[in-house]
Structure 1
């Protein structure tokens, strides 16, 4: 389902489901494999349709944050994760990837590194700002840019463009655009 016209990057709050038809599943699988997720878990991921609840807010100190709750139809849901938009590196212990480092910020399109056009093209022109979230582990890095795009069907969708770089095993880069269906408000 497409985003309502009133939905903007100023408030990402809502319920979203990964659209597996519009998302490059092969690239997503290569990213999960590069992050050390085993074959059985990757196959299980392809069988479920996880739903994300995003709560976008400012805390008592005025720090903008997005809390992400992943809801799986069956099995264990991981604990919520919070992305604080301070561009300060934080240590996070995740259920799937183990210990990683992350930093997140709000950016204008012109502030993104334009050496990789995959991350900088396709966004709505009236998108005032995007969210960049960088994740680091011992063997990989992932740069994510979140925003709003018109996808193949001409519908406005929340998307995340990911540049995944394998830093061990000879390296390698995988690009993937994750496309989400809007399910309504939280």
Structure 2
């Protein structure tokens, strides 16, 4: 097993780990970031610098699951994305994306496919058994600096071809994104290499 392949001990039931984006295997998301109001300077830096992820899945004292994701970007930019998996709408002000309304929950592969066919594709056997994470978010144009956009993301694990001969288990995010500035919805896949288990 290569050092960047996600071990089978990590799943959507046991997810406390650090990952780094694999730029070669990931879609370019420049048009998405532009629609979300991210500056040209930051977008250009993101084209060449992998994003790091620190992910912590835990259950609070009330028995509700939390999926906290810290995105580590160039120039020391950090985007904290705390998600409570109860599918309740919550408003927050992101330092990167501005005012956002979001909610999250667990879903099956079948439920992901019902949201959008692209979101249900390619997941591994562990996700078929343990499920996936679904995060819905939209910009809030009613607030200062808010922009209109809508994002559907699914998080999980997939066996991804890394070259002509080899496939590796990776942490994957599938995204379906719409915004008035885009002619149509866009489908993106982000692939992340394993760095370490735990934080």
TM-score by shorter chain over 0.5: yes
| Structure 2 residue runs without a partner (length 5+) | 142-147
Please give the per-residue CA displacement for 1:27-83, whole angstroms capped at 9, x wherever unaligned: x111111111121110122233231111110111111001122334633334x3210
How many corresponding residue pairs? 182
Counterpart contact for 2:46–2:74, Cα < 8 Å: no
Q: What is the alpha-carbon distance in structure 2 between the residues aligned to residue 145 and residue 115 of structure 1?
A: 10
Q: What is the alpha-carbon distance in structure 1 between the residues aligned to residue 74 and residue 183 of structure 2?
A: 34
Q: What is the alpha-carbon distance in structure 1 between the residues aligned to residue 73 and residue 42 of structure 2?
A: 13
Please give the per-residue CA displacement for 1:3-45, whole angstroms capped at 9, x wherever unaligned: 01222110221001111110012xx111111111121110122
**What residue number does 1:50 align with?**
51
Which secondary structure does the structure 1 equivalent of 2:177 belong to? strand
Q: How has the CA–CA distance of structure 1 residues 95 and 108 changed in structure 2, closer, same or farther, with 3 Å as cutoff?
A: same
> CA RMSD for the aligned pairs?
1.7
Matched, 1:157 2:166: no
**What residue number does 2:157 align with?**
148
**What residue number does 1:180 align with?**
192
Deviant stretches of 4+, over 4 Å: none
Return 142-151 or 61-70, whichever deviates more.
61-70
Q: What TM-score results when the alignment is normalised by the length of structure 1?
A: 0.91
Return 101-110 or 111-120, whichever deviates more.
111-120
Q: What is the alpha-carbon distance in structure 1 between the residues aligned to residue 137 and residue 33 of structure 2?
A: 13
Matched, 1:14 2:27: no
Q: In structure 2, which of residues 3, 8, 18 is the aligned counterpart of residue 5 of structure 1?
A: 8
Return 66-75 or 9-18, whichever deviates more.
66-75
Output aligned runs, 1:19-98, within 5 Å: 19-25=22-28, 28-72=29-73, 74-78=75-79, 80-98=80-98
Which secondary structure does the structure 2 equivalent of 1:45 belong to? helix
Q: What TM-score results when the alignment is normalised by the length of structure 2?
A: 0.85
Q: What is the alpha-carbon distance in structure 2 between the residues aligned to residue 120 and residue 71 of structure 1?
A: 27
Please give the per-residue CA displacement for 1:57-115, whole angstroms capped at 9, x wherever unaligned: 0111111001122334633334x321000000110110111000110001111223436
| Structure 1 residue runs without a partner (length 5+) | none
Counterpart contact for 2:90–2:101, Cα < 8 Å: yes
Q: What is the alpha-carbon distance in structure 1 between the residues aligned to residue 52 and residue 71 of structure 2?
A: 6
